Amino acid sequence: MAFLLEKYKIFGRSPQYANLGVMLGVYLPTIQHILGVTMFIRLAWVVGIAGIVDTMILLLLCCLCTLLTSISLSAVATNGIVESGGVYFMISRNLGAEFGSAVGILFYLANTVASSMYLIGGIEVMLLYIFPSLTIGGSDVHSDTDMWGMMSHNYRIYGSILLLLEVIIVAMGVRFVQLIAPVSLLVVVISILACFAGGLEKAINHSGQHVCMLNEQLLQSRIFFPHGADLSTLCKRCVKSEDISDDFCNSTTASFCTHFTASTLTCTNAFPGINTQTFYDNMKRMYMDAGESYPDIAADDAGLEVSQDFRTSFFILLAIYFPAVTGIMTGTNMSGDLKDPQKSIPCGTIAATLTTSAIYYALALLFGASITGPVLRDKYGRSLDSSMIAALLSWPSPWIVITGSFLSTFGAALQCLCSAPRLLQSIAKDDVIPVLAPFSKELMNHFLDNLLITALIAEFAILLGAVDKIAEILDFFFLMCYAFVNLICTLHSLLKVPNWRPRFRYYHWSLSLTGAALCFFIMFASHWQYAVFSIILTFVIYKAKKEWGDGIRGLALSTAQYSLLKVEDKDPHPKNWRPQLLVLVYDSFWSNSIMDKRNVNLINLAGQLKAGRGLAIVVALIKGSNWNCGDQQKAEEVKERIQHEMLRVHLRGFGKTLLFDENQSLVTENRSRK
């Protein structure tokens, strides 16, 4: 997932540091990862369905979420050294092993599933716009995009083949990935510029491609000529000839035949170029149900009109488009290759986030001002002989955008397949999830094992058979990771953790809290069922115990301290008084199974006061040395027995053991652990 991947010790060699700066190390890699195929194949459709106003709000939610997370990442980067392992290292060492392992797995799955989305997106571009003749079943099945439709099967078959090819490339080494990344970025930038050039050129020369419409309904071009014909002749064929009338009246219901007879066929310029009238017309939202060609108007049952393949709403579109803004953690994951991570990560990440946000806003406004609404809502370009809408807007050739979108998917999938196995290795090396232990080895054959398990998971995602379905699931892996990164920063700031001193001047804990809340809002607003499942998955993953900094323990201690100080503010009212007991017991004959009867009676007496709901502390004084392992073990056994007796009599409180030496005037609390 990086522009120039980290040099892990996969092959038993010492890592080599590239000493990269802000531009090559963070800014360009992050932009290259964020700008992907979703921008070309879905943004125009989102503008057409949601309208310009709702699209601006949608992009604001997406971009604000990533910007706030970028600020939190910048705070972490300036707080201390982020070692290899990137974001996973940061989460596990700050929030604790329990959340670190869970979120680390989610981040690994995000990279893996992202590779599947890129591959399916690339196959969509290839089969619809580059080599439609390769479609199994012919071009007639392009509209069969249901879960078990023939086009979905095409995505599964070709996606699996392309996944196998990329796995072989990754297994051979990362050099090819390093070479294709800058080429992919260059082509994507040229494609974006071509879209803006096309918007201006068509406004000046009025050279936009036309489409055929039946009143407000957009018609598929296959009605008028076969696939592969010259689109420039469409207006000559957009007439109510006898053949066209037979197609409508013989293939549809009688009511639709009557509607066709009474309506007018018009040939309309689909790409008028940048103009205010088109911009104004595309302001309104046009959400539709599956099978509708216009809001509340069902399309004919013969597939002559362009219709939607599933129900759309603001939050459904938000879930589909959100993966287009992910990739902000590329710079953090490359910290080992940066000359000055504490400077490069904040500057590069935030600059890349702002740049890509500006590009998305500019493209959305361009599409809304240059392309008519019905054509924007034609997701697969069926009114234009299955052509990419964004590509037909571009100048001088549609192939610039088509090539750029395909190369962006190929390169991004390679990067994800390179980084995901290494992330899995980082998680396994921490030994927090026992089942992952085999993936922690730093040998070539074990790297291949990690790559194979990653490819297997990616294959399961490919079997979903659609970019939109994969995107909806991918959202939650990224959003959970982003949410917990923001929570880390909020938690440490509010608790005033001693080792939390970020030097990033624009950071404030309220920004992180807002980012976390926004992540959870997007999750629950899009698909609350997936959100609940993601959160449950995070909490049920193995709760590891490692000697790392734990923000959750700090929260508990801070809460307890605050509550105790509030209790001591003033004397309680007699009606609210609760007994607070300190029970001191001592005997030289302690064991886990034998306990002095007098000490048991003391605990029983304390237990009689349980109705007062007070707090008791039972302390056992044991003769011994805190530096002697045998005495520590003895103290631990006594502590367990005390806790057992307290539980037996339902005595709420704490059981402690204190070791002391007759030659010492100091009593030392035993802190030994099993």
The verdict on 74 and 40 lying in the same domain is yes
Q: Residue 289's pLDDT is what?
A: 93
Is residue 86 scored above 60 in pLDDT? Answer: yes
Whichever domain contains 664, its CATH number is 3.40.50.620
Could you tell me if 323 and 363 lie in one domain? yes
The stretches of 496-596 forming alpha helices (DSSP H) are 509-526, 528-540, 551-567
Q: Are residues 366 and 444 in the same domain?
A: yes
Please indicate, yes or no, whether residues 195 and 229 belong to a single structural domain of this protein: no
Do 428 and 522 belong to one domain? yes
* Domain-located, residue 54: yes
Do 194 and 226 have their domain in common? no
As for how many domains the chain has, the answer is: 3
Query: 4 in a domain, yes or no?
Result: no
259 is a domain residue: yes
Last residue of a domain, one of 521, 540, 559: 540
For the entire predicted model, the pTM comes to 0.81
What phi, psi does 401 have (nearest 5°)? -70, -40
- β-pair partners for 582: 617
Segment 33-85, tens digit of pLDDT = 899 889 999 999 999 999 999 999 999 999 999 999 999 989 988 886 666 55
For the chain, what percentages of helix, strand and coil (3-state, to nearest 5) are there? 65, 5, 30
Both tokens of 44, joined, read: 């125009």
- Boundaries of domain holding 604: 574-669
For residues 332 and 72, the answer to whether their CB atoms sit within 8 Å is no
Q: Is residue 400 part of a domain?
A: yes
Q: How far apart are CA 392 and CA 234, in angstroms?
A: 15
Same domain, 190 and 326: yes
Rounded to whole angstroms, the Cα distance separating 658 from 625 reads 10
Q: In terms of domains, do 660 and 536 share one?
A: no
- Beta carbons within 8 Å of 613's beta carbon, 6+ residues apart: 578, 652
315 has pLDDT over 80: yes
Residues 172 and 220 in one domain: no
Q: Is 217 inside any structural domain?
A: yes
CB 213 within 8 A of CB 373: no
Q: Does residue 384 sit within a domain? A: yes
Please provide the average confidence, as pLDDT, over all residues in the chain: 82
Decide if pLDDT at 351 tops 50. Answer: yes
| Residues 370-412 pLDDT 10s | 999 999 999 999 999 889 999 999 999 999 999 989 988 887 8
Q: Are residues 146 and 167 in the same domain?
A: yes
Q: Which of 516, 540, 564 is the C-terminal boundary of a domain?
A: 540
Task: List, for residues 221-237, the tens digit of each pLDDT value.
Answer: 888 888 778 888 888 88
In a domain, 568, yes or no: no
Structure confidence at residue 12 as a pLDDT band (50, 70, 90): very low
Provide the pLDDT confidence category of residue 484 given band limits of 50, 70 and 90.
confident
Query: Which of 102, 76, 11 minimizes the C-alpha distance to 422?
Result: 11
Instruction: Pick the last residue of a domain from 254, 269, 284.
Output: 269
Q: What is the DSSP string of 192-256?
A: HHHHHHHHHHHHHH--PPEEEEETTEEBPGGGTS-TTS-GGGHHHH-S--HHHHHHHHHHS-HHH
Query: For residue 519, what pLDDT band results from cuts at 50, 70 and 90?
Result: very high
Residues 186, 263 share a domain: no
| Shared-domain flag, residues 416 and 509 | yes
CATH code, domain carrying 177? 1.20.1740.10
Distance CA 357, CA 70 (A): 13
In a domain, 553, yes or no: no
